[in-house]
């Protein structure tokens, strides 16, 4: 089988091969096919997006398609947290920004096109962060700026919510000018225009102006009911580019639109806070049932009964779906606080900017949307139990605030001046081992030691198989009653499957499987046909293993084949081969030694051909 036929089995690798071989038109065709076939594989799709965008300048790409893929790639890279790809994509966007709104358009046409794009953005279902970045990008492109940032008033301070063209080091070094500009805009509640910061006596000595070579600056307030709720900022380093009067009108109009959007969202968030306060209370509508047969769970419950009557801080560790929330409620139910509220706080579901107002509450007028004094979740707990779930997903800043709360046993509402005593008993939960996150600097060491006074580790379901059948039958009876069916047992084949399956989703996954099984069961007895097909596809599992093995062998062959092809093209010249493959000579030598390849076999007698970068 030829190299090309082998590569066709792995289209993403084929695309990479075609690009490295300079067959850009073929690569373009393969990339477009992969846009559809990889929709269910976001990580692979992101790789293809980046490879497609790398074709810019090598082959003619439709402008509309190019920018559509660029925006999809940026959104996907943010969702997947792929920093390396995101950095490349942001660089591509900066380098191609001038293509989006043609320079030949008149100012009026540019502004009309910009607001048309903004209207299209308004119709998209975007996260708040992505919405802000897209609007900011339009502002930068329309005004001809190089960098931009959006600041929003949070807990009485202006905090950066979105930025483009500003690397972290630049943001730190720009602190002086940012603070100066923010204070000036906040004071006058009007647009600040700096024609040339290098000559302006207020800023020319600022280290940030010198370091970032800032020239022209445009910053305008976001006002709602005459209250400052944010600042929109753009700047440029080009001496020839000075913001015009029309630019001021455009950014002020855009600021009004943003202010309206932000104010509406803040009011929605305030309402959501009130709803979450109600949902955070434990509803004592049904008994707390813990089903088990295993020795592991017996030992855990023995420890729970010993620690529950005390005020010791408890940390529950276990994979997602192991029952940490249920165990926390059980601890509360047998503690001396059982007649007090149980409040669950899902820390991963609360936006970082709302952590303080959600936990501590707020005073009327503390921020836009704070229409009345509102207690936080800690105040609602009122001497009961607060269950802090997903603690591993919090920022170091949030951990610091919680540490202060645990140490001082008091807090203040946002905008308030009076201390409120924290009387509740905290229970924390994590789906990852926190000690490892401490080593990775994702969890503060002092915070970890403070919340781990008593650690309970809940083993995954696959490590306590004795619990599987009792749990399965409990869920079957429960859902049978819910669906009006009497549970009449399960076949031995089903039991064998349930105890042999690895249950990556733990008890939660088992619950869902038994719910589906009872739905499909006609007479109340569960047979293997009632189990979801995707769990039973053992052939599919074996096929996946075979493919994985084949892929390793293919990659082994691919490395050898690509180097041989390069040696043929460069007639055995090692330096030219290294440059052609965008690597170094030492790596080529290692590959030659690894596969026992003799470069002399590719030399042409009487002629040595070197194909180096920049040569013809």
For the stretch 8-62, pLDDT in tens is 456 677 777 788 877 888 888 888 888 888 888 888 888 888 888 888 777 777 8
85 vs 54: CA distance, rounded Å: 12
Q: What's the pLDDT score for residue 169?
A: 40
pTM attached to this predicted model: 0.49
- Give the pLDDT confidence of 344-369 residue by residue, as tens digits: 998 888 877 788 888 998 887 776 66
Query: What six digits make up the tokens of 485?
Result: 């069916």
> In this structure, are residues 350 and 358 in contact, taking their beta carbons and an 8 Å threshold?
yes
Q: What's the pLDDT score for residue 282?
A: 40
CA angle (426 as vertex; 422, 431 as ends), nearest 5: 145
Longest pairwise C-alpha distance within the chain: 95
pLDDT means over runs of 10, the chain (616 residues): 47 76 82 83 86 81 82 85 83 64 62 82 75 88 86 75 67 50 72 75 62 76 83 80 78 88 70 50 58 92 94 94 93 91 87 83 74 83 91 90 93 88 94 91 93 94 94 94 92 89 92 93 91 67 46 60 84 84 80 86 60 45
Q: What's the pLDDT score for residue 43?
A: 85
Long-range contacts from 154-161, C-beta under 8 angstroms, 24+ separation? 154/353, 154/367, 155/353, 155/356, 155/357, 155/366, 155/367, 155/414, 156/366, 156/367, 156/414, 156/415, 158/182, 158/186, 158/230, 158/231, 159/353, 161/129, 161/132, 161/230, 161/353
Query: What six digits make up the tokens of 421?
Result: 């005593």
């Amino acid at each position: 089988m030829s190299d090309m036929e082998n590569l066709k089995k792995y289209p993403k690798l084929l695309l990479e091969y075609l690009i490295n071989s300079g067959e850009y038109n073929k690569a373009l065709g393969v990339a477009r096919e992969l846009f559809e076939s990889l929709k269910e594989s976001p990580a692979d799709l992101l790789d293809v997006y980046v490879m497609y965008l790398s074709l810019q300048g090598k082959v003619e790409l439709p402008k509309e398609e190019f920018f559509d893929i660029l925006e999809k790639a940026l959104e996907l890279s943010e969702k997947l947290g792929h920093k390396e790809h995101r950095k490349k994509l942001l660089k591509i966007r900066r380098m191609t920004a001038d293509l989006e709104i043609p320079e030949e358009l008149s100012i009026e046409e540019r502004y009309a096109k910009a607001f048309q794009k903004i209207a299209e953005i308004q119709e998209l279902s975007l996260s708040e962060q992505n919405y802000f970045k897209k609007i900011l990008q339009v502002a930068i492109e329309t005004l001809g700026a190089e960098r931009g940032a959006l600041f929003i008033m949070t807990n009485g301070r202006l905090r950066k919510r979105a930025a483009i063209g500003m690397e972290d080091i630049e943001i730190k070094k720009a602190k002086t000018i940012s603070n100066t500009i923010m204070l000036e805009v906040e004071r006058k509640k009007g647009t600040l225009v700096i024609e040339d910061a290098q000559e302006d006596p207020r800023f020319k000595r600022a280290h940030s102006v010198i370091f970032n070579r800032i020239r022209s600056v445009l910053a305008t307030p976001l006002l709602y009911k005459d209250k400052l709720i944010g600042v929109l900022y753009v700047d440029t380093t080009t001496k020839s580019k000075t913001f015009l009067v029309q630019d001021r009108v455009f950014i002020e109009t855009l600021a009004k639109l943003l202010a309206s959007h932000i104010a509406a969202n803040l009011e929605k968030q305030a309402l959501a806070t009130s709803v979450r306060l109600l949902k955070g209370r434990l509803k004592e509508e049904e008994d707390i049932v813990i089903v088990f047969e295993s020795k592991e769970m017996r030992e855990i419950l023995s420890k729970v009964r010993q620690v529950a009557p005390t005020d010791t801080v408890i940390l529950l560790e276990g994979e997602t779906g192991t029952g940490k929330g249920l165990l926390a409620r059980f601890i509360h139910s047998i503690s001396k606080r059982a007649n007090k509220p149980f409040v669950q706080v899902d820390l991963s579901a609360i936006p970082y900017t709302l952590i303080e107002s959600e936990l501590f509450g707020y005073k009327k007028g503390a921020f836009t949307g704070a229409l009345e004094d509102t207690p936080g979740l800690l105040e609602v707990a009122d001497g009961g139990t607060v269950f802090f779930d997903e603690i591993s997903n919090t920022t170091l800043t949030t951990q610091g605030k919680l540490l202060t709360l645990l140490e001082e046993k008091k807090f203040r509402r946002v905008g308030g001046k009076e201390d409120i005593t924290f009387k509740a008993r905290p229970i924390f939960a994590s789906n990852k081992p926190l000690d490892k996150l401490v080593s990775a600097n994702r969890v503060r060491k002092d915070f970890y030691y403070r919340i781990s006074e008593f650690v309970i580790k809940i083993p995954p379901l696959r490590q306590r198989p004795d619990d599987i059948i009792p749990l399965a039958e409990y869920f079957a009876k429960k859902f049978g009653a819910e669906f009006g069916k009497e549970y009449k047992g399960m076949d031995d084949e089903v039991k064998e499957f349930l105890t042999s399956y690895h249950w990556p989703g733990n008890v939660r996954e088992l619950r869902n499987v038994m719910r589906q099984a009872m739905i499909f069961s006609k007479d109340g007895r569960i047979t293997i046909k009632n189990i979801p097909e995707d769990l039973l596809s053992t052939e599919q599992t074996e096929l996946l293993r075979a493919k994985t093995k084949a892929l390793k062998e293919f990659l082994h062959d691919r490395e050898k084949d690509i180097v041989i092809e390069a040696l043929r093209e460069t007639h055995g010249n090692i330096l030219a081969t290294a440059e052609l493959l965008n690597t170094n000579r030492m790596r080529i030598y290692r590959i030659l030694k690894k596969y026992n390849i003799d470069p002399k076999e590719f030399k042409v007698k009487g002629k040595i051909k070197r194909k180096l970068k920049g040569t013809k």
